[in-house]
Amino acid sequence: MSRIELKNIDKYYGSNHVLKNLNLTIEDGAFMTLLGPSGCGKTTTLRVLSGLENPQNGVILMNDEKIVDAATEFFTPPDKRKLNLVFQSYALWPHMTVFENVAFGLRIKKLAKEEIKRKVDQALERLQILEYSARYPSELSGGQQQRVAIARAIVSDPELLLMDEPLSNLDAKLRMDMRSEIKRLHMEMGTTVVYVTHDQSEALTMSTHIAVFFNGELKQVDTPINVYTNPANLEVAAFIGTPRTNFVEGRARYEDESLKVDTVIGEYSYKENTFTGEEKRTGEFKVVVGIRPEQITISRIKGEIPPNSIVGEVYSVMPSGSETLVEVNVGDTKILIKLMGLIRLSPGEMVSLGFSPDNFTVYDKDSGRLIKKVDVSDSDIK
Q: What is the pLDDT of residues 323-359, one digit of tens each?
A: 999 999 998 899 999 999 888 899 999 999 999 999 9
pLDDT (0 to 100) of residue 379: 44
pLDDT (0 to 100) of residue 126: 87
Q: Is 131 exposed, middle or buried (0-12, 13-18, 19+ CB in 10 A)?
A: exposed
Residue 176 and residue 245 in one domain = no
Residue 189 and residue 267 in one domain = no
Residue 213 and residue 281 in one domain = no
pLDDT (0 to 100) of residue 381: 46
Residue 175 and residue 302 in one domain = no
Q: What is the pLDDT of residues 195-249, one digit of tens each?
A: 999 999 899 999 999 999 999 999 999 999 999 999 999 999 999 988 999 999 9
Q: What is the pLDDT of residues 26-50, one digit of tens each?
A: 999 999 999 999 889 999 999 999 9
Residue 130 and residue 32 in one domain = yes
Residue 140 and residue 193 in one domain = yes
pLDDT (0 to 100) of residue 127: 87
Q: Among the three residues 182, 201, 233, which one is the final residue of a domain in this structure?
A: 233
11: CATH: 3.40.50.300
Residues in CB range of 331: below 8 A, 6 or more apart: 264
Strand partners, 375: none
Give the mean pLDDT of the chain.
Answer: 92
Q: Domain count of the chain?
A: 2
Tell which wins on pLDDT, 152 or 1: 152
360: CATH: 2.40.50.140
**pLDDT at residue 181 is higher than 50:** yes
Residue 107 and residue 190 in one domain = yes
Residues in the chain: 382
Residue 261 and residue 127 in one domain = no
Residue 320: which pLDDT band, with cuts at 50, 70 and 90? Answer: confident
Q: What is the pLDDT of residues 119-163, one digit of tens each?
A: 999 999 988 899 999 999 999 988 899 889 999 999 988 889 999
**C-alpha closest to that of 113 among 124, 99, 123, 126:** 99
Report whether 242 contacts 202 (CB < 8 A).
no
Kind and range of the H or E element at 124?
A: helix 113-126
Residue 335 and residue 300 in one domain = yes
Q: Among the three residues 233, 264, 285, which one is the final residue of a domain in this structure?
A: 233
pLDDT (0 to 100) of residue 102: 95
**pLDDT at residue 382 is higher than 50:** no
Q: Among the three residues 176, 200, 233, which one is the final residue of a domain in this structure?
A: 233
Integer Cα distance of 163 and 168 in angstroms? 11
Residue 37 and residue 180 in one domain = yes
Integer Cα distance of 370 and 209 in angstroms? 19
- Domain range spanning residue 210? 4-233
Q: How many CB atoms lie within 10 A of CB 30?
A: 20
Residue 132 and residue 252 in one domain = no
- Output helix, strand, coil percentages for the chain, rounded to the nearest 5: 30, 35, 35
pLDDT (0 to 100) of residue 1: 61
Q: Could you give the dihedral angle defined by the CA atoms of residues 198, 204, 209 and 215, in that order, rounded to the nearest 10 degrees?
A: 30
**C-alpha closest to that of 331 among 309, 308, 360, 311:** 311
pLDDT (0 to 100) of residue 8: 98
Residue 252 and residue 319 in one domain = yes
Integer Cα distance of 323 and 91 in angstroms? 38
